[in-house]
Amino acid sequence: MPVIVVNLVFNPPEVSLIGKGLSTSIMNRLESELIVRTTTSRPVTASMGTEGPLFVQNPNGCSAGAEVWRLTIPNHYCDDLAKCAFFGSVISVMEGDGWSLVCSSATTTSGDGKEISRFFFSRRA
């Protein structure tokens, strides 16, 4: 059963997708959805045009042979409402591509206080 893990780190917002069989349509939709969900991007998004952040594939992947894609939105911030919007966008995009949310987890790092949320999606083979 294929699995994709979506890691969300705040603040600044960073997104990584880990799994096999990731379609570029997922990355394209997440890019267009997430850049307008940050607290600080709402007033400036229209002036950004197409120069927004883009997902970058980690050429080394991970030890299990899965693809790793990363998106960083520097100089932006997400308050609690924006984080909820991020979560909703991720779930909507993934479910729209046929993935089902299996479980999630969240934690806060002790050193820098970054919040990390993980969503685990699966799809029937």
Q: Per-residue DSSP letters for 38-57?
A: STTTTTTHHHHTT-S---EE
Structure tokens given for 88: 């909703």
pLDDT tens track for 64-105: 678 899 999 888 899 999 999 999 999 999 999 999 999 999
What does the pLDDT read at residue 5?
96
Q: Quick one: 52 exposed, middle or buried, by C-beta within 10 A (0-12, 13-18, 19+)?
A: middle
State the average pLDDT for the chain.
Answer: 86
Instruction: Give the residue-averaged pLDDT of 46-55.
Output: 57
Every domain of the chain and the residues it spans: 3-122
Residue holding tokens 């940050």?
38
Which one is predicted more confidently, 111 or 50? 111
Instruction: Give the residue-averaged pLDDT of 1-26.
Output: 92
Asked if 65 and 20 touch (Cβ cutoff 8 Å), the reply is: yes
9 pLDDT more than 50: yes
97 DSSP assignment:
T
48 pLDDT more than 90: no
Alpha-carbon gap, residue 121 to 118, rounded angstroms: 10
47 pLDDT more than 70: no
Strand ranges of the sheet holding 3-10, from the earlier edge strand across to the other edge: 56-57, 67-72, 14-19, 3-10, 115-122, 100-108
